[in-house]
Structure 1
Amino acid sequence: MRVLPVAAGLAVLVVLAACAGCTSSATPSYSVDNNGVLSVTCAPVTTNETVIFANETYTESKIILHTQTGDVVTYLSYPEHPKAVMLYLPGAGEKISGHAERMVTYAEAGYAFMFLDYRGRGGETAGYPLNPQTDYALFENKEWPEYYLTICDISSAQALLAGRFGVPVYAVGGSNGGRYAAVAAGVDKNFAGYVGISTADWGIKDAVLAQGGSGDVLRFATSLEPSTYLPTISPRPVWMFHNATDPIIPFADGQALFATASQPKIFTEFDGDHGINPDVDTRLIALLAQIYGTQA
């Protein structure tokens, strides 16, 4: 295909403002109710965008979210007029390079695809791996746990994408990313739905209960679990994908999380082992085609 010229040697700098869809210009804050449900008011962010590649099918760019607590790196691929956006939270060890064909696949089917390298994942975005003890100490001190900051990052990305394209944005995640995506979709009602791939609860709440925990520690642990939020996503759809022989997150654990969701929901067994793959892409695009009338 013909590659379209991109100004300044493939570098176009765009500065935009974005804020989480569930927030206003109020002071950033969070709260966790007695049922362990998180609510957030997120600070606005600014973004720098560098176009990496463009042709007749799609444009790919790197977008950095400049938040008050550090930069978050994302990659966006989109056709000229996307029908919807898949905001994807990757699992541990996933590289953007492994999604090059996927970005083309979604663009050809009429959808934008954003890869969000969230905090602590070990990629380009700084942060520490999930650490409930460290985050609980911050929670007790009325500071922001990194987990909650990540939910704000996801929500800010949703607001940016919705504002830019004017189309529905889905929270999508594989493995650990599916856990963050589920929480974000529950917290931010502006997401059009949730797609979880090879994912389940963390098991943190169960561990706290097994140790006799209660009060603040139990409330905090509950706020981290995807199952706390899946029932609240309805009437937006919940679509989950899992392989019966998943070697990392057991199939039964994925089914248990899915059982907590309200209708409309669909659970699909896919071919593969763990995480997003071409079979998941094909099945997900087919589901989207039922709504948006597009198909690769």
Structure 2
Amino acid sequence: MSQKHTVKGKRKTETEKQKMNVKLLPLALGILLMAAGAIGIMHGSDDSDRWSVSDNGILSYPEIKEVDYSSQDVSEANDSDIVREVSFESRGSEIAGLVRIPESSTKVPGVVILPGAGVSKEQQTAVPQLLSSMGYATIIIDQRNLGGINPQSDLELYMNGEEPVEYMMVHDALAAANVLADQSEVNEDNVAMLGLSNGGRFAIIATAIEPEIKGVIGISTSGYDTNSIEVDETVDMNAYQFYRSIDPDNYLGMVSPRRFVMLHSINDSTVPYELALRTFDKANEPKALYPINGSTHGYSQLMAEDIGKELETIFQ
């Protein structure tokens, strides 16, 4: 698959991170935008691997022609699936992943799975196993910082012309799609993204900027609503551009005409359902939103049937 576009401190729990990221970020953005100094930013260069951000805050990477990775089968004797440990290079780091491939006489579609903050690939087994039972191959990765983010630190990097970690996390997702598509059992033309919680944000952005991705499913996630920030003479436009670039809401128009799907527990106290609905309303068709009874943050068995139905639609 080719790409045409391409904290320190005390460890927080998943719930604490998400509440900070979703509930406090819009307010923090406004404060930081006014506080940021007027610094000239150089977003691109002649380097072949240089990231860039458009004036509208859209991230892009150069085409990924191939990804260097290692692979080792680790399937257990009582497991009919092929399970592989993989490790691949992305933006100067080694990213670890697990590939799971169901038994099939033909090549199968593949799904990149991005876990929520604080969740390792070994802790998120339910979704890969579910998708395998439906006939889909998956790759799930350990995200940088296990999916945790620090927008203020990334803003400082950006203002210095350095690559923010959140950008690298998008690139990691794109590289993972390349690795999954390279498996001999996988249909390289049928790869989609699925992200949980914070991972859903990176899944949306990665899908938006890579037109070969077939569609995206976001579970218990939302954008940051940077469109609601009032832009006036007190706002530093470089900082505003950065926050636009990490907001999945800003990329929703680029997902269409591919399918955009959200599943969200209506009593989720980590990422409130209302925030998911706000993001969903901004997306173009084709799209679908599934409110799930309960308070689970992340995957719930109540989502299984709808996920299966939507993947069939995405890959048809």
TM-score strictly above 0.5: yes
Contact between 1:20 and 1:158, CA under 8 Å: does it hold in 2?
no
Normalised to the residue count of structure 1, the TM-score between the two structures is 0.81
Alignment coverage as a number of residue pairs: 268
Match of 1:253 among 263, 275, 281: 275
Matched, 1:120 2:141: no
Alignment of 1:1-296 (within 5 A): 20=3, 22=5, 27-41=48-62, 44-53=66-75, 57-79=80-102, 80=104, 81-121=106-146, 129-164=148-183, 165=186, 166-202=188-224, 212-272=234-294, 273-290=296-313
CA distance in 1, matches of 2:164, 2:293: 36
8 Å CA contact 2:198–2:221 kept in 1: the answer is yes
Tell me, which stretches of 5 or more residues in structure 1 are unaligned? 1-17, 123-128
Which amino acid is 1:179 matched to?
Answer: R
CA contact (8 A) 1:47 1:65 kept: yes
How far residue 204 of structure 1 moved from its aligned partner, in angstroms, is 6.4
User: In structure 2, what residue type is equivalent to 1:34?
Assistant: D
3-state DSSP of counterpart to 1:99: coil
Conservation of the 8 A alpha-carbon contact between 2:115 and 2:121: no
Q: Is the 8 A contact 1:57 1:107 kept in 2?
A: no
Paired residue for 2:27? Answer: none
What is the CA-CA distance between 1:51 and the residue it aligns to? 1.3
Q: Higher RCO, 1 or 2 (CA under 8 Å, sep at least 6)?
A: 2
Deviation, 1:28, is 0.4
**Cα gap change, 1:22 to 1:33, in 2 (>3 Å):** closer
Deviation string 1:181-211 (CA, Å, 9 cap, x unpaired) is: 1111111112111111111114567578699
Q: TM-score, normalised by structure 2?
A: 0.76
Deviates more, 1:61-70 or 1:173-182: 61-70
**Whole-angstrom CA distance in 1 between matches of 2:152 and 2:127:** 36
Q: What residue ranges of structure 2 are gaps of 5+ in the alignment?
A: 7-46
SS at match of 1:53: coil
Contact 1:45 1:68 in 2 (8 A): no
Shift in CA distance, 201/280, structure 1 to aligned 2, threshold 3 Å: same
Distance in structure 2 (CA, Å) of the matches to 1:120 and 1:178: 16
Structure 1 vs Structure 2 CA RMSD:
2.6
Identity across matched positions, percent: 26
CA displacement, residues 62-115 of structure 1 (integer Å, 9 cap, x when unaligned): 111123511111111112445321211111232434433443332221101221
Q: Deviations over 1:120-150 (max 9, x none)?
A: 127xxxxxx3122222222222221111111
* Alignment check: 8 A CA contact 1:186 1:230 kept: yes
Letter in 2 for 1:261: A
